[in-house]
Amino acid sequence: IINRMFLLALSLLALCFPMNAIEVEVLPLSTTYEMTEMGYLESPQLTIAGLLLTDNRQQALYVVEDGALKMLLSAPGCGRYTELSADGTRLALKHINANGKQAPAVLDLKSGELTLLNGYVDQCGQPTVSPMGDVAYTVGRQLHLMMADGKKQIALDYYTNIVRFSPDGRFLAWSDADGRPVLFDLQTMQQKCLSEQMDL
């Protein structure tokens, strides 16, 4: 079965651009394996810069500009678990350099400038952006918050890779070392485990 996100990306391209603006090679259904090997585009997001896409290995970020595909960034896993800011201008992502070191980063989709939120380390989490523009990420066992009222660090007993803001920006959610869901209240700075069921 052809990847649904790939088909969605093609549909969005067809809606956004004239049919003669982009040439798409249609592959027979029997070449699904070959298509995966050759690569395809997925995870379309509408941004201030246009339609943002990544490849099926999440190794690069592209934007459709004037009917053509333009690469914004190439790095291992840069298209995985990204988060777009509410205004569509910034993309939060984990950047991995040639040595395998990691840094939370924000990509300005208008200028193409990549800003590191922390130096490169052995282990950092995927950054998240709230509707108000606040940023959160982990470095080792530390939760880092970049809020309107300043920067904060909260010690955790474990490392977690993915932290996400709630839609109203009042809470953060993640999984603890045993895979249990945790809710963190940004007003009280208290965390609560929502279930004793471990991720098996």
pLDDT in tens, 110-167: 999 999 999 999 999 999 999 999 999 999 999 999 998 899 999 999 999 999 999 9
Give the integer Cα–Cα distance in Å for 60 and 53.
Answer: 8
Q: Out of 11-20, 114-123, 171-180, which region has the weakest mean confidence (pLDDT)?
A: 11-20
Q: Global pTM? A: 0.78
Judged by phi (left if over 0) then psi (alpha if -120 to 50, else beta), residue 28 lies in beta
Which burial class, exposed, middle or buried, applies to 161 when counting CB atoms under 10 A from its CB (0-12, 13-18, 19+)? middle
Task: List the one residue out of 144, 145, 138 whose CA is nearest residue 175.
Answer: 138
Reported as a single tens digit per residue, the pLDDT across 35-55 is: 566 788 899 999 999 999 999
The strand ranges marked E within 102-180 are 102-108, 114-116, 128-129, 135-139, 142-147, 150-155, 164-165, 171-175
Which burial class, exposed, middle or buried, applies to 198 when counting CB atoms under 10 A from its CB (0-12, 13-18, 19+)? exposed
According to the model, what pLDDT value does residue 146 have?
A: 96
